[in-house]
Amino acid sequence: MTDVEIVEVGPRDGLQNEPRLIPTPHKTALVDALAVAGFRRIEAASFVSPRRVPQMEDGAAVLAAIRRPERTGFVALVPNLRGYEAAHAARVDEIAVFTAASEGFAKANLNCTIAESLDRLAPVVRAAHGDGLPVRGYVSVVTDCPFDGPTAPSAVGRVAAALRDMGCDEISLGETLGRGTPERVEAMLRAVLEELSPDRLAGHFHDTGGRALDNVEVALQHGLRIFDASIAGLGGCPFAPGAAGNVATEALHDRLVALGYHTGLDPVALARAATFARSLREP
C-alpha cells in the first residue's frame, strides 16, 4: 500500500482567518489533539506581523505549551529573517516561506513584487539550513488570482524553480481560491513537473468550489504524495477575497483510504480533533 502524507495546516492556515481571537490554550489543545492522530508534520504557528494577522500573534506561546511527541514535527510560517529568528527561538522543527505566482497577489499579500519576495526569502532559507532546519516553500494562487485572473502554468513553474534553486526542500502548490478545475490543475502540474520531480512537491487545495478532492486525484496521478489539509476545513487566506474553504483533513483522509492509499492517521483521533476544531468556530 502506497503511503501519502497529509500535512496538517489547520492550526495556522485554518485559524488565521477566524474573525474571533482563539485563546492560546484552545490552539494548544487543537495541536495536541492533532498530534494524537499521528501526523508527521503539523503547521502550528506563524511569525508574521501581528498587525496584519492578529490571530497568529501567540505563535511562540503555542509552541512553548504543546506536547512534542517524537513522531511529529512542528512547522512555522515565516516571512523574513526577523520571523525566522523568532520561530527558531520557539524550537520549530521546520519552517515554511511563501511567495506567489501572480504579481497582483504578491503586492496584496506581501507588499512587494515576486522578485522582491524571493530576494527577501533567500537569507531566510540560508539561515534555516545553517541551523539544520528543512524549508518548505509555498506558492500561492497557482491556478487563479483574485486580482490578476487565471494564472499561467509557466509562471508557477518559474516560481517553483526559483524556490528550488534557493534551496527549498519541498514546494507546496497552493490553489488558494478553490476555483481550480482538474483540467487547469493538470496543466499547472505539467509545467511545474518540467522543473521539479513529484517527490519535491505538495498539493495545497481549497474546496471553495467543491473540486479539491478531484484536484488531489489529478495530483496523485502525476506522482504527488504529499498534501496539505486543514482539520474540519478551517480557514483560508485573509488576503485573498473568496479564499475560505481549505480541504478538510478528514475528507481528504477518507478519499485517500478509499483510493487504496495509507496515511498513517488514526481515524478515531482525527474525528475527535475535527469535532474540537469545529467548536472553535462557535461564538
**3-class secondary structure, 131:** coil
Beta bridge partners of 73: 41
C-alpha of 238 from chain center:
14
The DSSP string of 39-74 is -SEEEEEE-S-TTT-GGGTTHHHHHHHS---TT-EE
Q: Is 168 a catalytic residue?
A: no
Answer left, alpha or beta for residue 18, where phi above 0 means left and psi between -120 and 50 means alpha.
beta
Catalytic residue, candidates 112, 145, 168, 237? 237
Question: Across-strand partners of 172?
Answer: 138, 202
Q: How far is 122 from 47, CA to CA, in rounded Å?
A: 17
Q: What are the E-state strand segments in the chain?
A: 5-8, 41-46, 73-77, 94-100, 135-140, 144-145, 149-150, 170-175, 201-205, 226-229
d(CA 93, CA 133): 6
Radius of gyration, alpha carbons of the chain: 17
- Measured in degrees and rounded to the nearest 5, phi and psi for residue 245 equal 115, 50
Strand-pairing partners, residue 156, are none
What lies within 8 Å, CB to CB, of 165 at 6+ separation is: none
Residues 65, 31: Cα–Cα separation, whole Å: 10
For the annotated catalytic residues, the residue numbers are: 237
